[in-house]
A and B are shown apart, each in its own frame.
Chain A
Amino acid sequence: MVAPSQDRDDSARDTLLVLRVGEGDRGAYQELLKRYASRLHHFALRLTRNTAEAEDVVQETFMRLWVHASDFDPKARATTWLHRIAHNLAVDRLRTRGRLAELDEDAEPVSASSSQATLVDAKRGAEELHRALDAMSERQATAIVLVHLNGLSGKEAAEVMGIGEEALESLLARGRRTLKARLGAALGVD
């Protein structure tokens, strides 16, 4: 997970890297690849639920980075820009496959006990996190991945998803509630 303070420190650096890519700097491109490829791939996978589609989305995202970096507005954040490109590419694919409606289907949260589940094994919990995200609605998973795994602020995540911050907050809260219930049950804690 990207910590907020680290994310702020890297923001200016990422902006500079994108601007250098716009000048044809391959070293800057490689650096951004190292920083974002895995994150964007995981994000695309959450959206498309398809390995081949996710790989295409990531490849096209970086192609657009290389080709359109000179269009990047330095006042914007590179991470928001890249995630927005990947999100739009993934949504276009879902639209093409007639799967766009699935994004809007919010899964019912798994019923949980009223007591708060305590996750005593965070590492094992990370493995279970992948499975739990798979079982969630794509919109909830997207919101969770953007904010809690990829380090975007609520405002940026809302911008990527094309929704208001209030709607994002609702997705995050439902998503976290679902995850707490699933992960608590999976780890057998009470």
Chain B
Amino acid sequence: MKTPMTLSRFRELAHAYGSDLERWPEAERHAARALAESSEPARAALEGERSLDAVFASFVAPRLSDTLAARLQRLPDATVAQPFRIPRRAWRAPAIGWAAAALFGLWLGTQSADAEEASTMVTVDAIDSEPSGVDGSDSRVAELASGAIEDWEDLE
């Protein structure tokens, strides 16, 4: 059996979330509805929040400047859509493939010192800093490109 909501808790939620119970925390809505049906003070608490809710309902976000709107429209043209990614399965090559790669590497070593850099994967990342909370997997590929990763299996 669910615990009934106290009037005190009902008021706290009304003060925070306003008069629309659909905006209240999902786990507490059922108890809130039950109290609102049976309690005049609870209904009064909701009534006290309606006028501010009406102001929120009439809010319209400020229009973007034409310059910003145009820049946002053009972003896909200015940005590489998908950074090049090394397929994971590429590093599970069979032994013969690794042997061939090793022989190729030896051959490269006899060539120009720049040959190894030419085979390095590069990703396009137009953003200098990584904001917290966003997936940083592209930085791993960038590390590879810079030579910071020597063991290809680090990408797994």
Please give the residue numbers on chain A whose beta carbons come within 8 Å of chain B beta carbons, in ascending order. Answer: 1, 4-5, 24, 26, 29-30, 33, 37-39, 41-42, 45, 55, 58-60, 62-64, 66-68, 70-71, 84-85, 88-89, 91-92, 116-120, 122-123, 125-126, 128-130, 147-149, 153-155, 162, 165, 168-170, 172-173, 176-177, 179-180, 183
Contacts and interface: CB of A to CB of B under 8 A. Distances in A.
Interface in B1-26: 12-13, 15-18, 20, 22-26
Contacts of B12: 169, 173
B146 to A, nearest CB: 19
B131 A89 contact: yes
A162 to B, nearest CB: 8
Interface SS of chain A: helix, strand, loop or mixed?
Answer: helix
24 contacts: A24-B82, A37-B64, A38-B64, A41-B64, A42-B61, A62-B75, A66-B79, A70-B82, A84-B133, A85-B133, A91-B131, A116-B48, A117-B51, A118-B51, A119-B54, A125-B58, A126-B55, A126-B60, A147-B17, A148-B18, A154-B17, A154-B24, A176-B15, A176-B18
Contacts of B134: 64, 68, 85, 88
A147 B56 CA distance: 10
A10 to B, nearest CB: 15
B-side interface size class: 35 or more
A118 B49 CA distance: 10
A58 B129 CA distance: 15
B50 to A, nearest CB: 9
Contacts of B22: 4-5
Nearest to B51: A119
B40 to A, nearest CB: 16
Given A119-B52, A125-B58, A165-B25, A66 B18 contact: no
